[in-house]
Amino acid sequence: MARVFFLLSGFLALGLGIAGIALPLLPTVPFMILAAFCFAKSSARLEQWILNHPHFGPSIKEWRDHGAISRKGKWAATTAFLFSIGIGFWMLAWPSNLIPPAVACICGAWIWTRPES
């Protein structure tokens, strides 16, 4: 039963990660890391497929081995945060428009404290 749960969760995370390629506010790599974790619990073949993927594999391996995020990934996240802040100021009323900058500062600070690959 747990294996099926992790397999379905892995496919859900994979789908969200794929959607994140086109949607700027949806992160791609964190969902791929989650998919790899779920596939590790459910399907060795799918885990190896995602780990050997030419685009996502290196980021997943760096995260697993060292908790590392590439400088390019950090800048991509920061850019997405700035975009989110802009949309928040544009679409949200006071004081709700302060939520995106607060979340971005907390998450951005955590991201920038991770080691680099």
Residue 53 has a pLDDT of: 92
pTM (2 d.p.): 0.75
The first and second tokens of residue 36, run together, are 């790899």
How does pLDDT run across 43-67, given as a tens digit for each residue? 899 999 999 999 888 888 888 888 8
Cα–Cα distance for residue pair 20/43, rounded to 1 Å: 23
How does pLDDT run across 60-90, given as a tens digit for each residue? 888 888 888 889 888 988 888 888 888 888 8
Cα–Cα distance for residue pair 92/76, rounded to 1 Å: 24
